[in-house]
């Protein structure tokens, strides 16, 4: 049977990868996407067909927000049937959030959506942009038995493809800017592309793509620190319309046992605010009840984020709060892996 060339849609949202230095100020700013392609003639010799689409006004990813996530998801939705894979060029600063968001928004995804970017602009002599872009396209184009090998949202950076919702940006300087400390990488790029098949999400091809666009942003992230005051916590928890809290705790999900703290948390839960426990550590998992300093949280009804990243927890909370889930089922659903974003312990 004749092997069909993969059809890849390259979506440019902004970020360093497509920036140039302003000659007057020296600051990096986005430039016209068409120039990006002229800077990488190698794209023309790849064994796939590439179509490009760009945000009208490309953004630095520090300006990323849920409206842009919907915009990216809609581009994928509108082009889903006509392409075998999607590569999203994105700034690295908030790439892990966008990768997590897309993973939840694109339900029953059975094609690759690969996010990538770079630490240095594409025009820079020492740029990491070319390798990141070219290999991302090759990974998105990978097929076996005429179906895509990757069927999930991935993030490719510096020779590794990670599950997008498992990543965190860990370095603002190194080319190796991302890590996925609680889940192995999916592909490693060396002389050959080494696919870690056992770690890939499998898709049920009989389900068609559903794009979930309703995200609730009435949430807050609270990072605990020794010395946090009752007034600060009380003020945050009484924000009008607050629906969810990501509580970044110490170690395996521990917090102070001071009574005022536990009372504020319990009362917020009684008021209907959902509280998710995630760890401040980059690796490892929340295990509520392992120490006395987390038992009260468990009793109060705090939800365990297990080994989820803060980025994925924030977006999962936005996504689930936007789905009108029965409050009685919310805990069970949050604690269940929906897109491979957490490991239950
Ligand atoms: N500030 C840039 C952005 O996130 C950094 C990058 O592209 O890596 O858009």
Tens digit of each residue's pLDDT (9 = 90 or more) over 42-74: 888 898 999 999 999 989 999 999 999 999 999
Looking at ligand 1, which atom is closest to the CA of residue 16? 7
- Report pLDDT digits (tens) over 158-199: 999 999 999 999 999 999 999 999 999 999 999 999 999 999
Using CB distances shorter than 6 Å, the residues near ligand 1 are 14-16, 60-62, 91-93, 117, 119
Q: What number of CA atoms fall less than 13 Å from residue 86's CA on the CB side? A: 30
* Other Cβ atoms within 10 Å of 261 Cβ, number: 17
pLDDT in tens, 259-279: 999 999 999 999 999 999 999
Asked whether this chain's domains 6-211 and 219-334 adopt the same fold, the reply is: yes
What pLDDT digit, counting tens, does each position of 297-345 carry? 999 999 999 999 999 999 999 999 999 899 999 999 999 999 999 998 7
Res. 36: pLDDT tops 70: no
Kindly state the average pLDDT of the residues 142-157: 95
Residue 91 Cα, ligand 1 centroid: separation in angstroms? 4
Task: Using pLDDT thresholds of 50, 70 and 90, give the confidence band for residue 98.
Answer: very high
Closest ligand 1 atom, CA of 59? Answer: 9
Domain spanning 219-334, CATH class? alpha beta
pLDDT in tens, 209-262: 999 999 999 999 999 999 999 999 999 999 999 999 999 999 999 999 999 999
From 28, 31, 62, 127, mutation site for ligand 1 pocket: most ligand atoms within 8 A of C-beta: 62
The CATH code that applies to domain 6-211 is 3.40.50.1170
Q: What is the pTM (predicted TM-score) of this model?
A: 0.95
> What are the residue boundaries of the structural domains of the chain, listed by start?
6-211, 219-334
Question: pLDDT (tens digit, 9 = 90+) per residue, 67-84?
Answer: 999 999 999 999 999 999
Residue 33 banded pLDDT, cuts 50, 70, 90: low
């Amino acid at each position: 049977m004749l092997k069909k060339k993969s059809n890849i849609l390259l979506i440019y949202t902004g970020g360093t990868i497509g920036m140039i230095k302003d000659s007057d100020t020296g600051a990096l700013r986005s430039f016209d996407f068409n120039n990006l392609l002229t800077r990488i003639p190698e794209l023309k010799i790849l064994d796939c067909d590439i179509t490009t689409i760009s945000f009208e006004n490309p953004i630095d990813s520090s300006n990323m927000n849920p409206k842009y996530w919907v915009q990216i998801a809609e581009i994928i939705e509108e082009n889903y049937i006509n392409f075998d894979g999607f590569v999203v060029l994105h700034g690295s600063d908030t790439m892990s959030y966008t990768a997590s968001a897309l993973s939840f928004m694109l339900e029953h995804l059975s094609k690759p959506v690969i996010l990538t970017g770079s630490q240095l602009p594409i025009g820079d002599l020492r740029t990491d942009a070319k390798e990141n872009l070219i290999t991302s396209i090759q990974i998105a184009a990978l097929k076996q038995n005429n179906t895509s090998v990757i069927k999930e949202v991935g993030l490719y950076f510096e020779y590794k493809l990670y599950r997008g919702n498992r990543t965190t940006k860990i370095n603002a300087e190194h080319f190796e800017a991302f890590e996925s400390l609680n889940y192995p990488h999916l592909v490693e790029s060396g002389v050959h592309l080494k696919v870690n098949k056992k770690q890939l999400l499998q898709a049920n091809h009989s389900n068609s793509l559903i794009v979930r666009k309703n995200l609730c942003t009435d949430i807050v992230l609270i990072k605990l620190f020794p010395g946090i005051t009752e007034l600060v916590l009380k003020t945050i928890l009484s924000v009008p319309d607050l629906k969810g809290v990501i509580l970044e705790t110490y170690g395996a999900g521990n917090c102070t046992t001071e009574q005022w703290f536990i009372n504020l948390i319990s009362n917020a839960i009684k008021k209907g605010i959902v509280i998710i426990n995630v760890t401040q550590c980059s690796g490892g998992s929340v295990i509520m009840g392992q120490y006395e300093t987390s038992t009260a949280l468990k009793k109060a009804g705090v939800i365990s984020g297990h080994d989820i990243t803060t980025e994925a927890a924030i977006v999962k909370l936005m996504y689930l709060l936007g789905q009108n889930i029965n409050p009685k089922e919310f805990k069970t659903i949050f604690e269940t892996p929906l897109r491979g974003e957490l490991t239950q312990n």
